[in-house]
Chain A
Amino acid sequence: MSKIGSAIYEIHHMDTIASREQWVNQIHPLVKLVLTIGYIAVTVSFHKYNLVGLIGMLVYPLSMFLLADLSIKDSIKRLRIVLPLVCFVGIWNPFFDHTFVFLGDVCICGGVVSMLTLMIKGLFSVLASYLLIATTSIEKICYALRLLRVPKLVVTQILLTYRYITLLLGEVNQMTQAYALRAPNQKGIHCKAWGSLTGQLLLRSVDRANEVYESMLLRGYQGEFGYLGPQIKMRKKDWLFFLFWSSCIIFVRMVPIVTIIGNFVGGH
């Protein structure tokens, strides 16, 4: 499969995972969205040298991976493009931050600790976002965004952008395949054809987007957000799920649980 073909497959695969009948997938989307936002906010709020405390935050993504029956290995594989970027963010810290901090009894350069903290914050945030989209369909996420009073224009943009990505990639795939079939000895696309291919892609994408929009208009779409399905009611288990995880996240933030466990295991 071509790179573009596999990208389209990955997007569709995420849709399939999100629409499974797993217990976590059935939790109210608003609960999962608020928990994800809250989790990221709390994760980011850790001090740059509080590496040990931050590790405790692993409890949420780890448990969710198990509850949702998702493979961590596959997830890391899917996130391989984003993760280097996340790691790159903190890479300069050791050069600029020369403070010394103690990790237990070990004295380490503060720059290294803050770099690791930043990387782990990024990693945890990306994992939490991945968990959200792997357990909640885009329609349900948009529904939850509307419940949070995000303007309908913004929510519609998110929904349609998600839908158009596959259409756009499909067009790119078709064009590159047609090119490759008539240029069998070339690797990739010759720079002379870049301009016309990009222009064609733009025109085709605009045409396709226009047709999809026309189709929506013909079926009563008037910019109103009435198409995301029935109202989803909050059930008891949704509340319990929310209360449990929000308490856990706050607890891990307030109590240095990793240090306590470490002291306990180490016999201090």
Chain B
Amino acid sequence: MSHIHIDVENVSFQYEKGKPILDRISFHGAENDSIGIVGANGVGKSTLLKLLVGLHLNYQGSIQVEAIPVQKETLPRIREKIGYVFQDSDSQLFMSTAYEDIAFAPRNYGLPEEEVEKRVVSALEMTGINHLRDKQIYKMSGGEKKLVSIATILSMMPDIIIMDEPSIALDPKNRRNLIRILNSFEHLKIIASHDLDMILDTCKRTIIMAEGRIVCDGPTEEILSNQQLLEDVGLELPLCMQKRS
């Protein structure tokens, strides 16, 4: 078995007592897996992703990242392996320029400045935003911010990438660029999104969530073409599969 894997076993979570957000969630992700997590609003997709990186620790069950249990003591080791892209880019970006923000993680991990520079350049190239290198964050459009956010995690060279609604705020060209970037990432990726067409283009496997539970886990093509199943959980067929009326 490859060293890159995530194992989630019977995980339940609640913010308030008696109001469970996640209910006995179990799934496994291995190297080269691309997992799309879909579901209606408020089913716990973002919460699940946050649990995977230890942003909430008071869960029941077991979460292991590369055989390391997600708990307070292991967080620095786990977070070094995972790149997490927030839904809102303004929460992700806090330095003044794209370069500074992309260099933030490599510098925190104590890499020499030459290596930091190399990684930043590589991340900028992968996301196709070399021209934004020294641009100030506040001057960027929503789409540019999203691409910089993705570059900030690529510079960490993570084993696993987790993205929460990555295609939000992207125009068609940038969305296509995002799909290209995601498909070029070879390790394990987990993407939560309402953009089922993007999930179809980037993920081989899809997990459908409803009311805090996993209701279906299987090949994306199969799941996202099942109209009845999608409608039962408040979703619709991807646009590319819908017939024009």
* Chain A residues near B (Cβ < 8 Å): 12, 15-16, 19, 137-139, 160, 163, 166-167, 170, 208, 211-212, 214-222, 224, 226-227, 229-231
Complex partner residue of A227 from B80, B88, B108, B113, CB under 8 angstroms: B108
> Smallest CB-CB separation from A222: which chain B residue?
B76
For B152, list chain A residues within 8 Å (CB). 219
A224 to B107, CA, bound (A): 10
Given A19-B136, A166-B138, A208-B91, does the pair A217, B107 have CB atoms closer than 8 Å? no
Given A19-B136, A212-B91, A215-B91, does the pair A227, B104 have CB atoms closer than 8 Å? yes
Complex partner residue of B105 from A167, A208, A219, CB under 8 angstroms: A219
A212 to B93, CA, bound (A): 8
For A226, list chain B residues within 8 Å (CB). 107-108, 110
A73 to B55, CA, bound (A): 48
* Chain B residues near A (Cβ < 8 Å): 53, 55, 75-76, 79-80, 82, 84, 86, 88, 90-97, 100, 103-105, 107-110, 113, 116, 136, 138-139, 152-153, 156
For B136, list chain A residues within 8 Å (CB). 12, 15-16, 19
Whether B94 pairs with A212 at a CB distance below 8 angstroms is yes
Given A12-B138, A219-B156, does the pair A137, B108 have CB atoms closer than 8 Å? no
B73 to chain A, nearest CB (A): 13
A10 to B96, CA, bound (A): 15
> Smallest CB-CB separation from B117: which chain A residue?
A230
Given A166-B138, A211-B91, A220-B76, does the pair A230, B113 have CB atoms closer than 8 Å? yes
A170 to B137, CA, bound (A): 14
> Smallest CB-CB separation from B92: which chain A residue?
A215
A174 to B136, CA, bound (A): 21
> Smallest CB-CB separation from B113: which chain A residue?
A230
A227 to B155, CA, bound (A): 14
Whether B96 pairs with A139 at a CB distance below 8 angstroms is yes
Whether A217 pairs with B79 at a CB distance below 8 angstroms is yes
For A215, list chain B residues within 8 Å (CB). 86, 91-94
Whether B86 pairs with A220 at a CB distance below 8 angstroms is no
5 A-B pairs with least C-beta separation: A220-B108, A211-B91, A219-B105, A230-B113, A215-B92
Whether B94 pairs with A138 at a CB distance below 8 angstroms is no
For B92, list chain A residues within 8 Å (CB). 215
A220 to B75, CA, bound (A): 10
B118 to chain A, nearest CB (A): 13
A167 to B92, CA, bound (A): 12
For A219, list chain B residues within 8 Å (CB). 79, 104-105, 108, 152-153, 156
The majority secondary structure among interface residues of chain B is helix
For A217, list chain B residues within 8 Å (CB). 55, 75, 79
B87 to chain A, nearest CB (A): 9
Whether B94 pairs with A216 at a CB distance below 8 angstroms is yes
A166 to B116, CA, bound (A): 28
Given A19-B96, A215-B94, does the pair A227, B86 have CB atoms closer than 8 Å? no
Given A212-B91, A220-B109, does the pair A15, B76 have CB atoms closer than 8 Å? no
B20 to chain A, nearest CB (A): 22
A19 to B136, CA, bound (A): 10
A217 to B107, CA, bound (A): 13
Given A12-B136, A215-B94, A220-B79, does the pair A229, B86 have CB atoms closer than 8 Å? no
A53 to chain B, nearest CB (A): 40
A138 to B53, CA, bound (A): 30
B179 to chain A, nearest CB (A): 23
B199 to chain A, nearest CB (A): 23
> Smallest CB-CB separation from B91: which chain A residue?
A211
B212 to chain A, nearest CB (A): 22
A208 to B105, CA, bound (A): 20
For A19, list chain B residues within 8 Å (CB). 96-97, 136
A16 to chain B, nearest CB (A): 7
For A12, list chain B residues within 8 Å (CB). 136, 138-139
For B97, list chain A residues within 8 Å (CB). 19
Given A139-B95, A208-B91, A229-B103, does the pair A214, B110 have CB atoms closer than 8 Å? no
B156 to chain A, nearest CB (A): 7
Whether A229 pairs with B100 at a CB distance below 8 angstroms is yes
Contact sample, A vs B, 6 pairs, CB 8 Å cutoff:
A15-B96, A211-B88, A215-B91, A220-B104, A227-B108, A230-B116
Given A166-B138, A211-B86, A217-B79, does the pair A229, B107 have CB atoms closer than 8 Å? yes
